[in-house]
Amino acid sequence: MGKSNKLSDYIIIGPIINGLAWLGDITKVTLLSLFYIFLPPYRPKIFLAQLYFIGNGSLSVILLTGSFTGMVLALQMFEVLKRFSSESMVGAVVALSLTRELGPVLSALMVNARAGSSMAAEIGTMKVTEQIMAIESMAVNSYQYLISPRIFAGILMMPALNIISNVVGVLGGYFITVSLLGLDPGLYFNKIDDFMEVRDLVNSSLKAAIFGLILTVVGSYQGFNTSGGAKGVGKATTSAVVISAVLILAFDYLLTSFMIQS
């Protein structure tokens, strides 16, 4: 240890340098893989399989988290708003919180846990069994073959899942406030109509698309950089989920601050 003169071996500086190197490399891989989406050869079959994997596979999880989130939001907000005698606003509050924040963030975290992790495990296994080398040995670009269809599918499918999550969330809130708490049914949707703008939906979809990019890129990238057998695959999977989750929350803050200002 003492003999090494590499900066990355020192405490504090080391992790920072390694982190920056990671960031630089994953940015490069992301840009390349985005670029390769538009270059031939196109592989629609692989892309559709990924769309199906992310979309269909995550649907049940999204329906569950979306509806429970909407329900619990409605329950909490109804109680709070009642103190100000403005419980009629509950529909608007639920809808806005869901589309602006909870919908994209929670669905991205759920899809990350499901699809991001399994991408890391699948690609990681391909790495350690030399399947990626085999792809390259047949003069096929492995980024284009493995990463591009995944991120493209993630960018397109996340907004769709997000919309579904928001819709069932709003419906869940409706069920709680109208059926259980006795709010006038017309009021719930009227207030949503009054307060929600097209911009909220656009921004929500934009967030979801960016989260879709993050979780697919990080899952694929950690898979690509797997080394050391089954243990390495496990490590890649865990790190992919954790890193994506942190990045999703950090980007959520960044994006929100831009969106609120403009």
Partner 1 sequence: MITNNKANSKNTTTTPSEESFVKFVDVHKSFGDFTVFDGLNLNILKGKINFVVGRSGSGKSVMLKHILGFLQPDRGDIFIENKNTKLFNTKDWQKTRKKVGMLFQDSALFDSMSVFENVAFPIREHTKKSEKEIKELVSQKLSLVGLDKHHKKLPAELSGGMRKRVALSRAIALNPDLVLFDEPSSGLDPIVSSVVDKLILDIHSNLKSTFLIISHDMKGTLKIAHRVSMLYDGKLVFNGTSQELTNTTNPLVKQFVHGRLDGPFNIFY
Q: Which residues bind partner 1 (CB under 8 A)?
A: 41, 122, 125-126, 129-131, 133-134, 136-140
Is the Cβ of residue 136 or residue 200 nearer to partner 1 in the bound state?
Answer: 136
Is the Cβ of residue 57 or residue 171 nearer to partner 1 in the bound state?
Answer: 57
Place of tokens 């059926």: 179
Is the Cβ of residue 144 or residue 166 nearer to partner 1 in the bound state?
Answer: 144
State in angstroms the smallest separation of the CB of 23 from partner 1: 23
3-state secondary structure of 84: coil
Is the Cβ of residue 133 or residue 254 nearer to partner 1 in the bound state?
Answer: 133
State in angstroms the smallest separation of the CB of 7 from partner 1: 19
C-alpha to C-alpha distance for 18 and 209, rounded to whole angstroms: 28
Q: Are 39 and 140 in contact (CB under 8 A)?
A: no
State in angstroms the smallest separation of the CB of 9 from partner 1: 14
State in angstroms the smallest separation of the CB of 132 from partner 1: 9
State in angstroms the smallest separation of the CB of 231 from partner 1: 18
Q: Are 212 and 152 in contact (CB under 8 A)?
A: no
Is the Cβ of residue 173 or residue 219 nearer to partner 1 in the bound state?
Answer: 219
Which CB contacts under 8 angstroms, 24+ apart, belong to 247-254?
247/214, 247/218, 248/105, 248/108, 248/109, 248/112, 248/211, 248/214, 248/215, 249/105, 251/210, 251/211, 251/214, 252/101, 252/104, 252/105, 252/207, 252/211
C-alpha to C-alpha distance for 198 and 117, rounded to whole angstroms: 33
